[in-house]
């Protein structure tokens, strides 16, 4: 079976692992070869620490290395880096309430549609909350995804208080016995400070008004931003109780390696990856599968 993460990582593999293997199969690993390897690793956005460790290991062996040796070194270092990251502990309580955050355009609303579909196929009932009240189009876009999945949406007028919409949504989910509420949020307001205040308020209102829900914050990160996404993500993680991340658009970038420094720098797990624009284009993130796919040339 061809797994979808394979398709998602196609561009990253083409740009990074194939040239790397070409480099080593061509013969001697001299200093200029090592420099080229270093550039390739940097260009895949694996992050400074992991790149340096791999380069040091390649230097250690001195001279020529076979493809297999290089692959083993890469595999070992990449797995090591990923295994340091803690797994998600889903919050206890009912319903499970997932606040989805991230900058404008990263794929929050689409990912929510994909998650709604997935949770339903896992036998859970789902309700969506349209808390990006900054743009009318955002509410309509969420409604379209909800229709595709056949799940209810709680919404108010454009410009209404997102925390009030979130409160209504959780109240409605409780009265209907719904398992999971997914909250869509704005990625852009007049200022970044306003955005963080708005998101903080959603968490604050939900956690003070409902003491029995399982409240989580998931951050969506666009893989296309590469290493620049890390600073962006830190702003959210510093202000909000983020517990897990989803990396979107793995299919449209050669920077898929960025998942490694994203997890390490933020010390948070990547839960799923987006591999396309369709409703089924969301894959569980399994770090072993990720590494073996990345290195399968």
Ligand X SMILES: Nc1nc2c(ncn2[C@@H]2O[C@H](COP(=O)(O)OP(=O)(O)O)[C@@H](O)[C@H]2O)c(=O)[nH]1
Total residues contacting Mg ion by CB under 5 A comes to 3
Give the residue, chosen from 109, 243, 248, 293, that forms a contact with Mg ion under the rule CB under 5 A: 109
The answer, yes or no, to whether the previous bond of 245 is cis (omega within 30 of 0) is: no
Q: How far is the CB of 58 from ligand X (least distance, A)?
A: 33
Partner interacting with residue 281 (select from Mg ion, ligand X, none; CB below 5-8 Å by kind): ligand X
Element (H, E) at 116: helix 108-121
How many Å apart are CA 158 and CA 141, to the nearest integer?
13
Which residue's beta carbon is nearest to the bound Mg ion?
A: 109
Three-class DSSP category at 211: coil
Q: How far is the CB of 137 from Mg ion (least distance, A)?
A: 9
Q: Which residues contact 62 (CB under 8 A, 6 or more apart)?
A: none
- 63: exposed, middle or buried (C-beta count within 10 Å: 0-12, 13-18, 19+)? exposed
Pick the closer one to Mg ion by CB: 8 or 187. Answer: 187
Q: How far is the CB of 184 from Mg ion (least distance, A)?
A: 6
Which residue's beta carbon is nearest to the bound ligand X?
A: 274
Which residues would be at the binding site for ligand X (CB under 6 A)? 102, 104-110, 187, 248-249, 251-252, 274-277, 281
- Taking alpha carbons only, the member of 154, 155, 111, 115 closest to residue 135 is 155
Partner interacting with residue 50 (select from Mg ion, ligand X, none; CB below 5-8 Å by kind): none
Q: How far is the CB of 165 from ligand X (least distance, A)?
A: 16
Three-class DSSP category at 84: coil
Pick the closer one to ligand X by CB: 34 or 158. Answer: 158
Q: Which stretch binds Mg ion (CB under 5 A): 133-141, 156-164, 277-285, 288-296?
A: 133-141
User: Helix 192-209 to helix 162-176 angle, to the nearest 10 degrees?
Assistant: 30
* 111 is an interface residue for Mg ion by CB under 5 A: no
- Output the furthest CA–CA distance in the chain (Å, rounded): 69
As a residue count, the chain comes to 297
Pick the closer one to Mg ion by CB: 138 or 181. Answer: 138
CA 45 to chain CA centroid, Å, is: 15
Pick the closer one to ligand X by CB: 4 or 38. Answer: 4
Contacting positions for Mg ion (CB under 5 A): 108-109, 138
């Amino acid at each position: 079976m061809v797994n979808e993460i394979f398709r998602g990582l196609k561009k990253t593999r083409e740009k990074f692992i194939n040239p790397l293997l070409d480099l080593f199969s061509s013969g001697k690993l001299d200093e200029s070869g090592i420099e080229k390897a270093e550039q390739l690793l940097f260009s895949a956005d694996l992050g400074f620490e992991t790149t340096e460790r791999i380069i040091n290991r390649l230097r250690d062996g001195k001279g020529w290395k076979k493809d297999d040796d290089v692959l083993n070194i890469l595999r070992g270092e990449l797995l090591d880096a990923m295994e340091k990251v803690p797994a998600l502990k889903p919050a206890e309580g009912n319903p499970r309430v997932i606040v989805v955050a991230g900058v404008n355009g990263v794929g929050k609303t689409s990912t929510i549609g994909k998650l709604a579909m997935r949770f339903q196929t896992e036998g859970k009932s789902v309700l969506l909350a349209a808390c990006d009240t900054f743009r009318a189009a955002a509410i309509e876009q969420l409604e379209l995804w909800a229709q595709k999945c056949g799940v209810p949406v709680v919404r108010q007028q454009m410009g209404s208080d997102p925390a009030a919409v979130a409160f209504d949504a959780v109240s409605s989910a409780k009265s209907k016995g719904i398992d999971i509420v997914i909250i869509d949020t704005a990625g852009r307001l007049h200022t970044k400070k306003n955005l963080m205040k708005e998101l903080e308020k959603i968490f604050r209102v939900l956690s003070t008004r409902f003491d029995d829900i399982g409240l989580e914050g998931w951050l969506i990160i666009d893989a296309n931003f590469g290493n620049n996404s890390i600073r962006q993500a830190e702003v959210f993680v510093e202000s909000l109780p983020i517990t897990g991340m989803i990396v979107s658009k793995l299919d449209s970038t050669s920077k898929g390696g960025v998942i490694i420094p994203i997890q390490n720098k933020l010390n948070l797990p990547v839960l799923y990856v987006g591999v396309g624009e369709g409703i089924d284009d969301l894959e569980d993130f399994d770090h072993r599968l990720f590494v073996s796919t990345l290195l399968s040339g």
